[in-house]
Amino acid sequence: MNEAAIEAGERLAACYREIGRLRMAGLPICNPALAVEAVGFRALAGESFGVLLTPWCMNLALLDLPGAPPRPALPVGAERDFFFPAGTIGFTVAQVDPFGRVDAASLFSPMHEFASQTAARATALAALEAVLAAPPQQAAGRRGLLFGRGAAA
């Protein structure tokens, strides 16, 4: 399934490369040091999940995963919550032609604070790691409180 998830991310990136070439080239919102890239796409709860990195934005993205059950039908502009180990994140449903449905949660826009593709990719990977990591377990009881490891039960 991860291969299908990676392929979905790559198809989305190809679509955004064309959008960049046709509609975004030369606009001041774009960082010329960056290129479109699908970062870290993987199968997650029946969807393809990863980061879409572009010269104008960086978004968490949820995509259809070939072979998985269909996602809930939602209109363009609808908000949907997705539950990650680190917590719930709201995604906005979009239609990207000719790709199709993309549920996106913005991480950065514009992208001028990134000096290089390497720095932007590292940030994208760190964001993925952060949302997929379970929050640390809180120690209960008096010792936990005294040593700063959580709240009492």
Let me know if residue 38 belongs to a domain.
yes
Using the structure block, give the residue that is written with the tokens 């490891």: 149
The answer for residues whose C-beta is within 8 angstroms of residue 113's C-beta and 6 or more apart is none
Higher pLDDT, 133 or 136: 133
121: containing domain: 2-146
Confidence of residue 34 (pLDDT cuts 50, 70, 90): very high
Number of compact structural domains in the chain: 1
Higher pLDDT, 139 or 63: 63
Let me know if residue 153 belongs to a domain.
no
- Diameter over CA atoms, the chain: 61
Q: Which two tokens stand for residue 48?
A: 């393809």
Let me know if residue 151 belongs to a domain.
no
Q: Which CATH number does the domain housing residue 15 bear?
A: 3.30.1460.40
Pairing of strands 47-53, 37-44: antiparallel
Q: Measured at the alpha carbon of residue 43, what is the angle toward residues 51 and 79, in degrees to the nearest 5?
A: 60
Average confidence (pLDDT) over 85-93: 96
Assess whether pLDDT exceeds 50 at residue 97: yes
Let me know if residue 60 belongs to a domain.
yes
Assess whether pLDDT exceeds 60 at residue 153: no
pLDDT tens column, 54-79: 999 999 999 999 889 999 899 999 99
Confidence of residue 148 (pLDDT cuts 50, 70, 90): low
How far does Cα 47 stand from its chain's mean position? 12
Q: What are phi and psi of 120, to 5 degrees?
A: -65, -40
Using the structure block, give the residue that is written with the tokens 């709201």: 90
